[in-house]
């Protein structure tokens, strides 16, 4: 059996077309009146979700007021997350310094720094959840329903792709035909 089956990839390509088409179609609607484009991923200014699926699924048309509120939400989230990341880096630096001592380790101080680091990570997670809650509240009930339906379709397409492609072949790649 060969690894590459062209006939199996035709439905995958079609499914990808179905996922990408709404993104391309809605891209024009996401441009501001100033012609500014948000970065790839749909989240303006690198907010949560900017590297993954957009927080607002494709095909959802936002009002001007919703777009302004979305921008405000992401700007605040970005500033808050940046401050938390800087705090986390400072703690990591203290941990590194504590581990670099020539003598015995101060295990109590390291345990305290570890707790501080965990607290910062928890704050980042809470910030992400709070941002997603604000996005939820931004949408109307009809937009939420449309978003759910779109995300359910995208999830179903991903499951179909995984089923078509199957598990990765076992064994050494050099042994493959």
Identify the residue with better confidence: 65 or 166: 65
Residue (of 42, 123, 39, 37) closest to 77 by Cα position: 123
Coil, helix or strand at residue 60:
coil
Task: Determine contact, residues 41/54, Cβ cutoff 8 Å.
Answer: yes
Angle formed by the axes of helices 6-27 and 141-165, nearest 10°:
160
Task: Determine contact, residues 91/113, Cβ cutoff 8 Å.
Answer: yes
User: What integer best gives the mean pLDDT of the chain?
Assistant: 77
In whole angstroms, what is the distance from residue 134 CA to residue 127 CA? 11
The pLDDT tens digits of the residues spanning 114-142 come to 999 999 999 999 999 999 999 999 999 99
Predicted TM-score (pTM) of this structure: 0.59
In whole angstroms, what is the distance from residue 140 CA to residue 60 CA? 10
Structure tokens at 104: 């015995």
In whole angstroms, what is the distance from residue 74 CA to residue 54 CA? 12
The pLDDT tens digits of the residues spanning 36-90 come to 444 444 444 444 443 345 678 888 899 999 999 999 999 999 999 999 999 999 9
In whole angstroms, what is the distance from residue 42 CA to residue 55 CA? 7
């Amino acid at each position: 059996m060969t690894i590459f089956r062209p006939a199996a990839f035709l439905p995958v390509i079609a499914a990808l077309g179905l996922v990408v088409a709404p993104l391309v179609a809605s891209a024009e609607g996401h441009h501001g009146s100033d012609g500014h484009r948000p970065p790839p991923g749909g989240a303006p200014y690198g907010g949560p979700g900017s590297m993954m699926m957009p927080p607002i699924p494709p095909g959802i048309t936002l009002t001007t007021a919703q777009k302004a509120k979305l921008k405000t939400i992401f700007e605040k989230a970005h500033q808050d997350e940046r401050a938390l990341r800087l705090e986390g880096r400072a703690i990591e630096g203290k941990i590194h310094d504590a581990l670099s001592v020539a003598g015995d380790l101060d295990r109590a101080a390291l345990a305290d720094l570890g707790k501080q680091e965990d607290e910062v990570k928890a704050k980042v997670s809470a910030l992400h959840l709070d941002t997603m809650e604000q996005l939820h509240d931004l949408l109307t009930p009809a937009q939420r329903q449309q978003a759910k339906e779109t995300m359910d379709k995208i999830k179903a397409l991903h499951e179909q792709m995984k089923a078509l492609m199957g598990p990765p072949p076992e064994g050494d790649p050099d042994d493959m035909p």
